[in-house]
Structure 1
């Protein structure tokens, strides 16, 4: 029995994603099209591959057996097609990167436009998250991470500024009304604009000390989600709502135009810049290799 290759792709995509909506998001398709493809595959095979409810989509025993046999075959097909891709003058395909939200503002804007201009046949997809998760989730090829998030047996390629700092600031109006803290511990008496990760964890404020970094438990009337709402935190600080503590580069425009006044600068925490992070033991697809080669001009790769 022969089955259209596109139908096989749909089965694998839905099985890996655990549902039609997620598979559609990952593959750039739509749920109804994938559902129709799976239905047609089941009709042609004469067996049910998925048990469907209003909330879940799960493989049947027949579906599990088929996926176990299909996965290595589909991986080999992808590898073969990618090998052919290397003979092209210009690489093509999709490159998916999992990055922290800060990278979309502080790192990628200086890289992405020139990269896309250099490789017009590559489609770049950026998955930005406030939580640090597995970079290979959602079928991502690589990610951007900081030192503390790197794992063994990975390759870390410097990308973006090599040293960064957190900066504390407030508006002149706020400081005139509430006074200027002289030491980070004075922040416990100030209205601080805090950030919360998607996991629910509240970000701590960490400062540079004489021996080692130290943390300050701050409080305030405004809490924003880290990532999507950080611009609100900056604008609220400019309006006099409290003290903000964020990447220095993120605050730089407001510091330079005087909208925010830097405070506690001797204690600003400095840390290593981010890395492009990928598994060298996997077959590196042509779009990722092109991106690696492009980024290498900015630094030297380091094996972790």
Structure 2
């Protein structure tokens, strides 16, 4: 047996495991799927053990393959970091930035930031992974994450990204309110039908309103429940008269202005802190530092 796998071969194998298949890895690496498959087969022949279990429909990592991927992952990441540090003398920022973000920041928070970022740093490849649960960004292979109101690990730092505060608003279609009546107080909501969001594998997102200077929680009838991964689809159902929706006020501006939706209990809407970018306190790669600078410049501006 000859253990003469090159770093390129190891990187290809690790990408197959990380991406979950040959075709996905080939797209990520810019290689033909046949070359990726042949590389893994060559490694398995040299090692004398299977690294992957293949069927016509799926692929799984063997115990040996999983152990190999876990061992080489940090080594490959270290090499990437070393290359990035070596290139930092160059004027042009290059490399890859991978962010793990909730769906709530996709429609309006990130697009203007990345418009500025890409104008400044056109050589940086950006990948955005949308997940709404709590995620270990280091384990997930991401440079940074964005979350609302989450308790950060001790080795994380964070900065505001997007609006410092956001107001959570209630709205419904004119047809729905004409048929059901407009609630006059928070307690009236328990008789109303609502479009609610559910966290992955968890509870429904609570509806909170301000009453007598304090924040209260109300539980309307869940006429329609959407996963938070579909958070940007809720307004379409609200326009169709399904029920009352609770969402960020800035997402409602156009619908409120043209009359497609009507505000519900606007004097009771609460405010919450905006999203934050968080990342490990250790040395940040240059593309991430460049993105942090864009976020800071946007807030200062």
Scaled to the shorter chain, the TM-score interval is: 0.7 to 0.9
SS at match of 2:259: coil
d(CA) in 1 for partners of 2:189 and 2:60?
Answer: 50
| Equivalent residue for 2:161, pick from 146, 159, 162 | 159
Q: Who is 2:287 aligned against?
A: 287
Structure 2 length as normaliser, TM-score? 0.86
Name the SS of the counterpart of 2:170 in structure 1.
Answer: strand
Match of 1:175 among 174, 177, 182: 177
- The gaps in structure 1 that reach 5 residues or longer are none
Aligned partner of 2:60 among 53, 57, 60: 57
> Which range is displaced more, 99-108 or 218-227?
218-227
Once the two structures are TM-superposed, the CA of residue 150 in structure 1 deviates from its matched residue by 3.0
Name 1:150's counterpart in structure 2.
Answer: 152
Number of equivalenced pairs? 296
Aligned CA distance change for structure 1 residues 68 and 145 (closer, same or farther; 3 Å) = closer
Give runs of aligned pairs for residues 25-104 of structure 1, distance below 5 A.
33-43=35-45, 45-54=46-55, 57-61=60-64, 63=65, 70-104=72-106
Whether the 8 Å CA contact 2:103–2:231 is kept in 1: the answer is no
Deviation readout 1:135-155 (Å, 9 max, x if unpaired): 345421111111234333211
TM-score, length basis structure 1: 0.85
Hey, what's the Cα distance between the residues in 2 that align with 1:24 and 1:191?
47
Does residue 193 of structure 1 match 2:195? yes
Question: Structure 1 residues 29 and 253, CA, compared in 2 at 3 Å: closer, same or farther?
Answer: farther
CA positional deviation for 1:96 = 0.9
How far apart are 1:165 and its partner, in Å?
1.0
**After alignment, is 18-27 or 155-164 more displaced?**
18-27
Provide the aligned C-alpha RMSD in A: 2.8
3-state SS, counterpart of residue 293 of structure 1: helix
Deviations for 1:74-110, whole angstroms, at most 9, x for unmatched residues? 2332122111221221111111111111101131122
